[in-house]
Amino acid sequence: MKKAEAAHIKIGKIGSPYGIRGWLKIHSYTEFGASILDYMPWYVEQGEDQWRELMVEEGRMHSGQVIAKIAGYDTPEEARLLTGKTITILRSQLPKLNKNEYYWSDLEGLTVINKNGVVLGKVIYLIETGSNDVLVVKGDKEHAIPYLPGTVVLDVNLEKQEIHVDWELE
């Protein structure tokens, strides 16, 4: 992972234009969809290690979807230039967490090792199921491991880039 990538956290993706005034549909990756509007400015990648800052003039929920008006994009044609871009913020914009709390982006890419020392693979993404989050781990096989600290997840070590789990191979 490049340093610039580590400094930027993905929080959403820009969808298609909405209406005739340059509004855009926004696919939020935040826990509560509309909370993506609480983070300003947004950034989109312009090329390797180059970022464009975007300011949201206005945003709201509309029919269960976040929509936003980005400054400088006033027509559907201009707004369409942003379609498909990933929305990021700087890591420094995130609220500080308590000890033993992690953002999903902190866990993605970590190596998962079971209590017998067997490497299960790396966390490729997480899923929210309602009852608990799930680590999707890809190695020789793909594993869906419940993120249950203290029972299934025994330790998260960001320095070593490891998660130790109580999880047996099938």
Please state, in angstroms and rounded to a whole number, the distance separating the CA atoms of residues 107 and 91. Answer: 14
- Length reported for the chain: 170
- Which residues are bridge partners to 163 per DSSP? 112, 156
pLDDT band at residue 3 under the 50/70/90 scheme: very low
Q: Looking at residue 1, what is its pLDDT?
A: 34
Could you read off the pLDDT of 44-70 as tens digits, one per residue?
A: 988 777 899 999 999 999 999 999 999
Give the tokens for residue 99: 């000890």
- Give 64-112 pLDDT, tens digit per residue: 999 999 999 999 999 999 999 999 999 889 888 888 888 888 899 999 9
Q: Given this model, what pLDDT does residue 154 score? A: 96
- The CA distance from 112 to 95, in Å, is 26
Domains of the chain: 3-92 (2.40.30.60), 104-165 (2.30.30.240)
- DSSP structural state of residue 149: B
The confidence score (pLDDT) of residue 26 equals 97
pTM, rounded to two decimals: 0.71
